[in-house]
Amino acid sequence: MNTSLPSKDRAKRLSKPPEGPKWKRFFGRTIVLVLVISLAIHLLFLLAFGSVAIFKGNLPKLPFVSQEIAADTAPEVPPPPTEDTPVPEEMVQQDPFAAEAPEQSAAEESAPALDMLTVVGGANWAPVIPKNAPVSETGVIGGTGKGTGTGTGTGTGRGGGAGSGKQLFGVTIKARKLGVVVSINKGAQSSGRLPGIFAEIFKEFPDSSVFLTNGGGMMDWDKALDAFNKTVEENKKKEKETGKKFFYPRNMEKPKVARFNTGEALDWVAVRGNNAIPDYPGLKEKHPDLFDDLRKRSNVWFITSYKDANACYLAFDELIKRGVEAIYWYNAFDSPIEGKVSEEVAQKISDGKIEILVQNQGTRVQGRDWLEKVGAKFVK
């Protein structure tokens, strides 16, 4: 049996779309769409990243951008200078608080010129600053200018100036910074003048530095100690001759400066007094209000040891170091003022042009030559 179809029927049959399930026909269409989309995406990636690869190295660089050093490339660092290797001047850092050199002119107000600004990252694109352009501390840079001007002014140096004087015990002094040396020994305490003296001083100069002494002599320590030891030997000899006991110190410590508001001052003979001496109770008992006032102040000192130490020069030395312009001295002047230490103090007073005001407790004046040398003025 011939099963072949006629040619016309076969061509008609072949021209019809193949029959089958719907999912197969749908799948065939999706493949086409997927291929088209995939092709489009590949083309886009090729255009985007291919152009970067093609033109790599030809991109323009942005100006003024600092470049980092690669991690695997170590910069060349010069070795640190040794003692034998001179340090270049441009590597020496100046101390911003250093005082101006004496030979530098006061008119030189400009800072050293900068050739190049330093920028983080190593960029050196900053413009060069002319060497004659002044640079202020605030970083403002300006050019030079010309101008004229006139002015007047007055100034005062050490010791004050005209019109700045104060009255102290009836005497006008030009000083603005006063130092005080007061002997508070038995005679001064018995006179009753100490409270009034300090009241007037603190009224005019409330911040004055005060040194309390037991007597007012000046003598080299070795000579003062020899004189004291001789007195001790004489007293011992009298005791043997008379058979009586004398109350006197057998040893004398080397004097020093100490603060009056410490416990050490409470054991000082001028404060605690001496029971062996009639009418010598000490400053704490004789003038309690003055004692309390002086203890409250932080700028009150005293010279340790006894009157025979003759160490008043320590008070003058300390006051001169503190830059006082005048010194008021209340003293009995019944002790010697002599020796190397007194000459050194006199020279310092003369060099500093310090005014010396003297108020005498009594009538005797030992050390008159020294007082004349320093130009002392006596006040009542």
Res. 130: pLDDT tops 90: no
Here the tokens at position 316 are 């003058």
* Number of domains comprising the chain: 1
Residue type, 295: R
Mean pLDDT of 320-330: 97
Host domain of residue 197: 166-378
Asked, for residue 71, whether it belongs to a domain, the answer is no
Asked, for residue 352, whether it belongs to a domain, the answer is yes
Asked, for residue 187, whether it belongs to a domain, the answer is yes
pLDDT number for residue 330 = 97
Res. 181: pLDDT tops 70: yes
Q: pLDDT of 202-231, one tens digit each?
A: 999 999 999 999 999 999 999 999 999 999
pLDDT number for residue 39 = 79
pTM: 0.58
pLDDT number for residue 213 = 98
Asked, for residue 69, whether it belongs to a domain, the answer is no
**Contact status, residue 180 vs residue 355, Cβ threshold 8 Å:** no
DSSP letter string, 262-306? SGGGGGSHHHH--TTSTT---HHHHSHHHHHHHHH-TTEEEE-S-
Asked, for residue 110, whether it belongs to a domain, the answer is no
Res. 155: pLDDT tops 90: no
Asked, for residue 333, whether it belongs to a domain, the answer is yes
**Which has the minimum average pLDDT: 74-88, 167-181, 197-211, 254-268?**
74-88
pLDDT number for residue 276 = 83
